[in-house]
């Protein structure tokens, strides 16, 4: 891509990178409460998964497959964070990192390494990487790291991520789930209970812990928990005499598990 084409791509008025570019010119510019992240990666699957995972988050990605192109973008836009993978291009990614560090020792550079990347992580560490993480990236871990590295972390409103447990997916903020790829809307309290259970899949949770997390010290909360557990079981099609999703651990509490099943299995009760 030529420099003129790159320049044209930076001129969008609603882009956080446009705001960052102006801020490079005028130190008095006020930045929006979004994080401008420059992603340097030539793996289309990794890029696609990351774009999907960060959808709806206060993060704007600018993707460059070639470190040489990324160096040009970096100089013009001053991103908040750089996310660098073992991309192959006109410039070696470690050389890219060395040039960045020579010019700006403070910009956070997260380096992603994984199978097939050889000694890339070690070389990147020597060149001044801020932190090394696993790649493909895990959205929850990466978001927490991005927030920690943000110039003003308290102003970055990170949404809860979707919980993906295979047969079951639970939305981050909207009260809904997908069971065997069928979308089911949930009342707010059932949604909150389900997220709490799904975030701790396989663990034994006491009634006291569940009540404290969802209802605090309300006097009717114990009965409410029993009712909402029964309703969730019905949505999963659980046998009340032998439940597979939400099991009672006698004398302790509940354990949430995801039983083996196939799409189209009975058990979705949207109402």
| Chain segment 68-86, per-residue pLDDT in tens | 999 999 988 889 999 999 9
* 3-155 CATH choice from 3.40.50.2300, 3.30.1360.120, 3.20.20.105, 1.10.357.10: 3.40.50.2300
Contact (CB, 8 A) for 184 and 177: yes
Per-residue pLDDT, 183: 94
Contact (CB, 8 A) for 80 and 114: no
What is the pLDDT confidence band of residue 221, given thresholds at 50, 70 and 90? low
Contact (CB, 8 A) for 170 and 177: yes
The domain spans of the chain are 3-155, 163-256
More confident residue, 194 or 18: 194
Per-residue pLDDT, 7: 40
pLDDT digits (tens, 9 = 90+) for 7-45: 444 344 455 555 555 555 444 444 457 889 999 999 999
| Same fold for the pair 3-155 and 163-256 | no
* R_g of the chain computed on alpha carbons: 23
More confident residue, 18 or 141: 141
pLDDT > 90: percent of the chain: 50
- Cα separation of 186 and 197, whole Å? 15
Helix H or strand E segment including 72: helix 67-77
* 163-256 CATH choice from 1.10.10.10, 1.10.3210.10, 2.30.30.100, 1.10.150.120: 1.10.10.10
- Cα separation of 121 and 65, whole Å? 18
Q: What is the mean pLDDT of residues 139-151?
A: 88
């Amino acid at each position: 891509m030529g420099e003129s084409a790159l320049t044209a791509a930076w001129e969008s008025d609603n882009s956080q990178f446009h705001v960052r570019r102006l801020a490079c010119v005028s130190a008095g510019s006020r930045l929006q409460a979004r994080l401008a992240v420059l992603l340097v990666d030539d793996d289309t699957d990794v890029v696609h998964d990351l774009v999907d995972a960060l959808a709806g988050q206060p993060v704007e990605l600018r993707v460059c497959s070639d470190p040489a192109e990324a160096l040009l973008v970096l100089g013009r836009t001053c991103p908040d964070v750089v996310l660098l993978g073992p991309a192959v291009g006109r410039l070696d990614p470690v050389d890219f990192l060395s040039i960045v560090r020579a010019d700006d020792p403070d910009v956070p550079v997260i380096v992603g390494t994984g199978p097939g990347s050889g000694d890339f992580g070690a070389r990147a560490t020597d060149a001044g990487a801020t932190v090394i993480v696993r790649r493909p990236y895990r959205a929850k871990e990466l978001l927490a790291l991005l927030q920690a590295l943000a110039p003003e972390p308290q102003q970055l409103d990170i949404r809860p991520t979707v919980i993906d447990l295979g047969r079951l997916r639970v939305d981050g903020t909207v009260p809904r789930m997908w069971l065997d790829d069928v979308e089911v809307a949930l009342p707010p309290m059932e949604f909150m209970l389900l997220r709490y259970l799904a975030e701790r899949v396989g663990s034994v949770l006491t009634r006291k812990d569940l009540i404290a997390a969802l209802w605090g010290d309300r006097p009717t909360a114990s009965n409410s928990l029993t009712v909402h557990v029964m309703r969730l079981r019905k949505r999963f099609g659980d046998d009340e005499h032998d439940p597979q999703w939400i099991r009672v651990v006698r004398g302790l509490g509940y354990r949430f598990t995801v039983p083996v099943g196939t799409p189209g299995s009975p058990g979705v009760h949207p109402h």
